[in-house]
Structure 1
């Protein structure tokens, strides 16, 4: 089996911007190093522009946008931009395409930025990366836009509403993967109340019905994404699968099909640089069966016991590909 892969999330750009001597081709450092992606048959990889909530967040986001551009320009033999031509000819393209996203809108605006600086930042990033696979309003903490997945009682703030208003019609999806439940509810309510044209996805979240964790989606929110014809990327991190049972990866994927996400479920592996992470309870971050991007084909082989060939193709690439073809055609 050698099925092409479309993966919705990794932190390669954060690694390249923050780690001294970082190299996108170093397989010893990060599970989404370019050779791992090639070994796993990845045809498109979403690379997140990730920042913490701090005064330097906007500068760092700009740096990562520049790194994204440089990575494509300096490695044009192996890599390609996810542009209209690549999207049209996706099945026949031999190269690996990269697509940028924004994980945490703190990269668009720190806590003291004026509103025009936030919109200018978004337009500046778009001018460099061309397209954004999605924008997450938050990461795990609170910011000016809303509450992250480890905050309770903090939903959508006024600046979050303004950003959603600004995105309407721009064909940039909003991501629920790092929202608090109250923020997810606030986003959906605001989109409906104001009749905004903003697609909704969850780029790299699992299912709380399988593993009870605030990073995972409730079935209620997952079904909202399904109803809105978004996509649901399954995350490979041990903490969000089941800290003891590797096979839960397959349970999360199969649960997606069980709740009606046949045209939504996809991969959102979430490989990042783990060597400087301060929480020893998270080690190992990934089970061996999903420890780097070379593992996609063996994961699909195992799933072939439960899924038919069309379902496997939908999971591997068709659902994500069809979503962006419908969005950007």
Structure 2
């Protein structure tokens, strides 16, 4: 078996801070509850992850989330370091710590003057989604149940994208409905990413991306983070749980992204601690086994380097200040 512990992981989306707080877990101690803690990050060679504040739907929720985020990340026992700049990735490797990137999942709590957005950027906000599968003053999200809403970005939403990108915040299009997605695509010249989304051609779920969306993200030199949530992997019963799904259910999405775009679009956005995942990826310690499977089924070490971290890192290099 290949010793693929060498493949560092940059996970594009996790909900661990809220989950750990709710479960009253000690992040520094290995647990079988949830998907992430420091020992399991070490076992999976996760070098950094985007830790989401969710939902960021009101000012009060954002403030509560920021309070929780900073208590969590700056707790010395948790072994984390906040990442604000590209050179911070090298610093975490030198320090032996794991990196944490601040993300707002939804922009509903941001005011129309963008004062809170600018303050959040100074506090380290580096990636952000406009909506979490709902309607707010900026955008419309993809709904989990039909009918889908057909409204896209508002005038304020168009201004929001320009303001966020000017600051150096990477726009996340996961959870946007198709009209909002295409509005973002039309107005941005910078890379965008779908932090945790899969291919709708493989699993017909509204949260997964169409081939046209995938090609558009590739055209913008962005990435799609493969999501491990069962409902988005389950081709036979989209939206339904099946703990017995295997690594091939993940590989099929990777294969499709590569086929219609290229290996350069594929990233990881596990959505760990956000929803249930198959036993094969029961937590973040399982990444080396996934790399083994891909190596045994046609992917090269260079491919896995790209999937595990370098593709997403390239997006940040092109969008961060």
TM-score bin (small chain): 0.7 to 0.9
What does residue range 66-215 of structure 1 map to in structure 2 within 5 Å? 66-75=67-76, 78-84=79-85, 85-88=87-90, 94-109=96-111, 115-116=112-113, 119-128=114-123, 130-132=124-126, 134-150=127-143, 151-189=148-186, 191=187, 196-215=188-207
Match of 1:229 in 2: 221
Closer, same or farther: CA 153–238 of 1 in aligned 2, 3 Å: same
- Give the conservation status (yes or no) of the 8 Å contact 2:189–2:220: no
What does residue range 263-282 of structure 1 map to in structure 2 within 5 Å? 263-272=264-273
Match of 1:46 in 2: 50
CA distance in 2, matches of 1:77, 1:9: 18
Report the aligned-residue RMSD: 2.2
Superimposed CA distance per residue, residues 112-136 of structure 1 (whole angstroms, 9 cap, x where no aligned partner) = xxx23xx1211222222x241x211
Does residue 287 in structure 1 map to residue 278 in structure 2? Answer: yes
Determine helix, strand or coil for the equivalent of 2:48.
Answer: strand
Deviation at 1:170, TM superposition (A): 2.1
Closer, same or farther: CA 217–273 of 1 in aligned 2, 3 Å: closer
Determine helix, strand or coil for the equivalent of 1:142.
Answer: coil
CA distance in 2, matches of 1:273, 1:168: 26
Q: How many residues align?
A: 301
CA distance in 2, matches of 1:44, 1:265: 17
CA distance in 1, matches of 2:299, 2:185: 31
- Give the conservation status (yes or no) of the 8 Å contact 1:171–1:198: no
Does residue 21 in structure 1 map to residue 24 in structure 2? Answer: yes
CA distance in 2, matches of 1:328, 1:64: 22
More off after superposition, 254-263 vs 178-187: 254-263
Match of 1:282 in 2: none
- Give the conservation status (yes or no) of the 8 Å contact 2:233–2:249: yes
CA distance in 2, matches of 1:327, 1:76: 31
Closer, same or farther: CA 77–22 of 1 in aligned 2, 3 Å: closer
Deviation at 1:49, TM superposition (A): 1.3
- Give the conservation status (yes or no) of the 8 Å contact 2:133–2:175: yes
Deviation at 1:166, TM superposition (A): 1.9
- Give the conservation status (yes or no) of the 8 Å contact 1:36–1:293: yes
More off after superposition, 226-235 vs 27-36: 27-36
TM-score where L is the length of structure 1: 0.84
Deviation at 1:205, TM superposition (A): 0.3
CA distance in 1, matches of 2:152, 2:271: 24
Deviation at 1:86, TM superposition (A): 2.2
Q: Unpaired runs of 5+ in structure 1?
A: 110-114, 275-284
Does residue 12 in structure 1 map to residue 30 in structure 2? Answer: no
Q: Unpaired runs of 5+ in structure 2?
A: 235-239
